[in-house]
Amino acid sequence: NTIEFTGALHATVVKQVRLKNPSSKTLMYYAILVGRDADDFSLPKGNTVTIAPKRQTSINVEFTSRFLRPAEAVLLLVSKSVGGTDGATLTFSLKSEVKHIEPADILKCKSPCYEL
Q: Which domains does the chain have, with CATH numbers?
A: 2-100 (2.60.40.10)
Residue positions counted in the chain = 116
Residue 34: which pLDDT band, with cuts at 50, 70 and 90? very high
Residue 85: which pLDDT band, with cuts at 50, 70 and 90? low
Residue 45: which pLDDT band, with cuts at 50, 70 and 90? very high
Instruction: Please give the model's pTM, rounded to 2 decimal places.
Output: 0.81
Residues 27 and 86: their CA atoms lie apart, in Å, by: 7
Sheet holding 48-51, edge to edge: 2-8, 90-100, 72-80, 27-34, 48-51
